[in-house]
């Protein structure tokens, strides 16, 4: 992956702007917006999708543009855990941003059910919503790299998982269109993501049903004339009330003997039949999750990505799981970094509790499982970059995210005891957020 001058400029501009500024002053608790009030007082109240802009192709593309496949890692075929120089630069920027901006804002954002707009704008300026946009369309990176996206997601989630989801959600849509959109879809939507005001957007898979299966969706797309009609409900969609653009997964009704398949549809929030409602959950509060309701939503034929190719959908699911695993890798490391000083400082029976094996061994196990999760996640992402199969590896990363990620979240609270259970410390938030990481589908795309 090579970052163009523009990308460098954007990243450095953002960093310079933040350096030395007073975090509280600049980001301070946003006044509860109308939406937040609505969320708190009238759960279930439905509103129309965000008014949103008009997406219009401003240039004609002869063919779809794709980022070049990542090539550097194919060179020698050696085992290596060192990111490229460009990746390190982006990773470093994301880490600094997470430490200086995200972590200090996390508690308030969790309580407010929203991430301050200024913080999300600043995150967007880092270029994270346009990593998947081909260079010809204004993107900042030449090569497609799931590893780069993984490193950034991990770094942001070390600050806060919920805010990371809010910040990364639009990038899932631009990456999907960058990877699978045709020339018209790309020309219509992608330039907006590299503009001054990139749209809020979300890729939505999951639905509020027990034993949810992403390969047996309740949301249905029916052929109607030239276009499609969508019906269904999507749940836990980040920033749903503000989103102008969605990529929605729907089961395509079989016709003319074609087998069952699932398609990804581009849906603009202004479309008739699109409504949203709050869907507050155990965690991810900073991502302002909500439901997306689709009632007889008419879409043009051009709304379907990749012609409903089933492999594309399966890849999308796997890339989403790698994204969640990356978030879990960042948050579990945050747990480790938080409990180490705590157990060294906290005293019981006349000495630091870290002098007890029951406590110390738990710290060791957190370190072991967090590192294992990180490595398995990296492997899945690096295989995607190399054009190798990666769905099995993504499944393994997801299993670890659900099992070990949650275990670490739980141990983080346990080590702090009663203090871990109250909001003076972030571990209770991480406990709630880590439960999401092993469950949610889509939403992110590395």
Partner 1 sequence: MINLENPKKFQGLVNMTRQVSEQMFRPISRKYDRAEHVYPKELDGLRAVLEGMNEGDPGGGVSASGGRGNKVKEGNVNGGNVSTVLSVAEACWGDTSFVLTMPGQGLGNAAIAAVADDEQLARFGDKWASMAITEPHFGSDSAAVQTTAILDEEAGEYVLNGTKIFVTSGERCDVVVVWASVDPSKGRAAIKSFIVPRDNPGLELVRLEHKLGIRGSDTAQFALTDCRIPKENLLGSPEVDAKKSFAGVMQTFDNTRPMVAAMAVGVAKASLERTFELFREAGVEVDYDRPAHLQTGAVAELLRLESDFEAFRLLTLEAAWMADNRKPNSVNASMAKAKAGRGATEIALKCVELVGPLGYSEDELLEKWARDAKILDIFEGTQQIQLLIIARNLLGKSSAELK
| Among 74, 196, 44, CA closest to 129 | 196
Q: Does 342 bind partner 1 (CB under 8 A)?
A: no
| Among 285, 274, 195, CA closest to 239 | 285
Pairing of strands 68-69, 143-144: parallel
**How far is residue 211 from each of residues 30, 208, 214, 278, 313, measured CA to CA in Å?**
37, 9, 10, 21, 19
Mark the segment that binds partner 1 (CB under 8 A) among 20-28, 165-173, 213-221, 242-250. Answer: 213-221
Q: Does 330 bind partner 1 (CB under 8 A)?
A: no
CB of 408 to partner 1, least distance (A): 13
CB-side exposure of 285: number of CA atoms within 13 Å?
A: 19
A 10 A CB-CB count for 255 gives 8
Residue 229, helix vs strand vs coil: strand
Q: Could you say which of 13, 56, 223, 392 contacts partner 1 (CB under 8 A)?
A: 392
Cβ partners under 8 Å of residue 280, min gap 6: 39, 43, 113, 289
245, β-bridge pairs: 201, 268
Q: Does 218 bind partner 1 (CB under 8 A)?
A: no
Nearer to partner 1, 62 or 75 (CB): 75
- Gyration radius from the chain CA atoms: 21
Q: Could you say which of 15, 23, 57, 375 contacts partner 1 (CB under 8 A)?
A: 375
Q: Could you say which of 211, 225, 256, 418 contacts partner 1 (CB under 8 A)?
A: 211
The encoded tokens of residue 222 equal: 């029916």
Q: Does 346 bind partner 1 (CB under 8 A)?
A: no
Q: Could you say which of 235, 277, 354, 411 contacts partner 1 (CB under 8 A)?
A: 354
The encoded tokens of residue 154 equal: 């991990």
* Per-residue interface string for the shown chain with partner 1, residues 306-325, x marking contact by CB under 8 A: --------x--xx-------
User: Measured at the alpha carbon of residue 19, what is the angle toward residues 18 and 23, in degrees to the nearest 5?
Assistant: 60
| Positions 135 through 164 that interact with partner 1 (CB under 8 A) | 147
CB of 84 to partner 1, least distance (A): 5
CB of 379 to partner 1, least distance (A): 4
Nearer to partner 1, 68 or 340 (CB): 340
Mark the segment that binds partner 1 (CB under 8 A) among 123-131, 160-168, 184-192, 387-395. Answer: 387-395
| Positions 37 through 96 that interact with partner 1 (CB under 8 A) | 72-73, 75-84, 87
Q: Does 391 bind partner 1 (CB under 8 A)?
A: yes
Pairing of strands 351-352, 347-348: antiparallel
CB of 396 to partner 1, least distance (A): 4
Q: Could you say which of 378, 416, 429, 445 contacts partner 1 (CB under 8 A)?
A: 378
CB of 367 to partner 1, least distance (A): 6
**How far is residue 188 from each of residues 55, 172, 239, 250, measured CA to CA in Å?**
6, 16, 22, 22
Nearer to partner 1, 45 or 215 (CB): 215
User: Measured at the alpha carbon of residue 432, what is the angle toward residues 417 and 148, in degrees to the nearest 5?
Assistant: 115
Residues near partner 1 (CB under 8 A) are 72-73, 75-84, 87, 147, 211-215, 314, 317-318, 336, 340, 343-344, 354-355, 357, 360-361, 363-365, 367-369, 371-373, 375-376, 378-379, 381-383, 386, 388, 391-397, 399-400, 403-404
């Amino acid at each position: 992956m090579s970052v163009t001058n523009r990308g460098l400029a954007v990243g450095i501009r953002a960093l310079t702007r933040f350096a030395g500024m007073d975090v509280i002053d600049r980001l301070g608790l946003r006044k509860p917006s109308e939406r937040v009030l609505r969320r708190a007082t009238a759960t279930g109240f439905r509103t129309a999708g965000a008014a949103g802009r008009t997406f219009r192709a401003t240039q004609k593309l002869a063919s779809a543009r794709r980022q070049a496949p990542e090539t550097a890692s194919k060179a020698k075929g050696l085992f290596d855990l060192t990111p490229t120089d460009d990746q390190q630069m982006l990773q470093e920027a994301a880490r600094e941003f997470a430490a200086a901006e995200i972590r200090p804002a996390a508690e308030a954002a969790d309580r407010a059910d929203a991430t301050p707009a200024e913080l999300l704008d600043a995150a967007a300026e880092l270029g994270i919503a346009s990593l998947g946009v081909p260079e010809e369309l204004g993107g900042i990176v030449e090569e497609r790299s799931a590893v780069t996206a993984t490193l950034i997601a991990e770094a942001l989630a070390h600050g806060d998982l919920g805010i990371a989801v809010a910040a990364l959600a639009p990038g899932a849509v631009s990456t999907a269109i960058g990877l699978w959109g045709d020339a018209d879809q790309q020309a219509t939507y992608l330039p907006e993501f590299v503009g001054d005001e990139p749209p809020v957007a979300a890729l939505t898979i999951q639905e509020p049903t027990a034993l949810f299966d992403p390969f047996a969706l309740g949301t249905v797309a029916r052929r109607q004339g030239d276009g499609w009609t969508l019906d269904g409900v999507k749940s836990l969609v980040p920033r749903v009330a503000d989103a102008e653009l969605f990529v929605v997964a729907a089961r395509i009704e079989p016709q003319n003997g074609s087998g069952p398949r699932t398609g990804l549809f581009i849906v603009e929030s202004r479309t008739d039949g699109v409504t949203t409602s709050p869907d507050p959950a155990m965690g991810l509060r900073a991502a302002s999750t909500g439901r997306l309701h689709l009632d007889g939503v008419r879409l043009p034929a051009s709304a379907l990505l990749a012609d409903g190719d089933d492999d594309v959908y399966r890849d999308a699911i796997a890339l989403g799981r790698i994204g969640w695993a990356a978030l879990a890798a960042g948050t579990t490391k945050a747990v480790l970094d938080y409990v180490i000083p705590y157990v060294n400082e906290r005293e019981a029976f006349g000495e630091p509790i870290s002098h007890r094996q029951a406590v110390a061994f738990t710290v060791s196990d957190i370190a072991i499982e967090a590192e294992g999760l990180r490595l398995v996640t990296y492997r899945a992402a690096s295989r995607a970059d190399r054009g190798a199969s990666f769905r099995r590896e993504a499944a393994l990363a997801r299993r670890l995210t659900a099992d070990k990620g949650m275990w670490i979240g739980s141990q983080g609270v346990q080590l702090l005891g009663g203090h871990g259970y109250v909001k003076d410390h972030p571990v209770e938030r991480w406990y709630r957020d880590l439960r999401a990481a092993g469950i949610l589908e889509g939403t992110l795309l590395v």
